[in-house]
Amino acid sequence: MPQIAIIGGTGIYNPDSFEMIKEVFPDTPYGKPSDPIMIGKINGVEVAFLFRHGKQHQHPPSSVPYRANIYALWKMGCRYVISACAVGSLTEDFKPGDLVIADQFIDFTKKREYTYFMNETVHISMPDPCCPYLNRLFADTAKEMDVRYHLGGTYVCIEGPRFSSRAESHMFRQFGDIVGMTMVPEAQLCRELGMCYCSLATVTDYDCWKDEDVTIDIVVRTMNECLDKVLRLLELGLPKIGRSDCHCIDAAKGCGSLDRIR
């Protein structure tokens, strides 16, 4: 079974480069995942691909079955989770079309299921929520490709599905570099299961603090313009993933979460 999982949207799945093997749609203690999980190969590397919002985009950010998604991938044997997403920029330096390999988040969500431990207290340590090994690997790959990228950035995660008000956008600029709707609770659920998590965020707009109000048309248009770059990044980066020198699993071992959840 694949050790690498990709969570993304419709455009990130490319039938021309994805060699399908099979689909699975497992039951989990947390319900079904967002959509059937496709197992196949990208550039010879076996991966599991999951549409975060479903193929029909039927799950808005607040109701994505995050716990089922991550648990299903973990039970399949995945240990590396790569999230491809679209974000707004909160700083002049992060321009539309840029790739941001986030390393931190600030949580402004309100009503999600954030943990696998609802009936007992499990304190997970995650000062650095993203995997430094995967971040370096994809940064090196982006450098080889000669594309604009930023290694490191704070992702402000909001509830959605609406975009920020202008006042919120200006406030978020005091705290972060990019704003999106899905990194929480994906990153912390991965940490509870000892999985490595990497966010490959494509900047699609300047939120609404700058020149133009953000709309879904702007997001989709810019993301479509950048898809080839993201797909190439995955094709070149995935074969490099090997034995990690990170400590992502240590927090899960330290709090005993893996023993509790099995």
Say which residues have a Cβ less than 8 Å from residue 61's Cβ, sequence separation at least 6: 53, 159, 160, 161, 181, 182
Q: Is 259 a catalytic residue?
A: no
What does the angle CA 24 – CA 20 – CA 86 come to, to the nearest 5 degrees? 85
Kindly list the distances between the CA atom of residue 239 and the CA atoms of 98, 99, 117, 246, 261, in Å, as whole numbers in the listed order. Answer: 23, 20, 34, 18, 30
Say which residues have a Cβ less than 8 Å from residue 98's Cβ, sequence separation at least 6: 89, 148, 149, 150, 202, 203
What is the distance between the alpha carbons of residues 153 and 103, in angstroms, rounded to a whole number? 6
Among 207, 213, 217, 250, the one annotated catalytic: 207
Which H or E element spans position 22? strand 18-24
| Range list of β-strands (E), 34-176 | 37-42, 45-51, 80-89, 99-101, 104-108, 149-151, 154-158
- Count CB neighbours of 35 within 10 A: 20
State both tokens at 12. 């990130």
What is the distance between the alpha carbons of residues 55 and 109, in angstroms, rounded to a whole number? 24
Where do the H-state alpha helices sit in the chain? 66-75, 132-145, 166-172, 183-192, 216-237, 248-255, 257-261
Q: Is 146 a catalytic residue?
A: no
Among 35, 98, 177, 205, the one annotated catalytic: 205
* Active site members: 205, 207
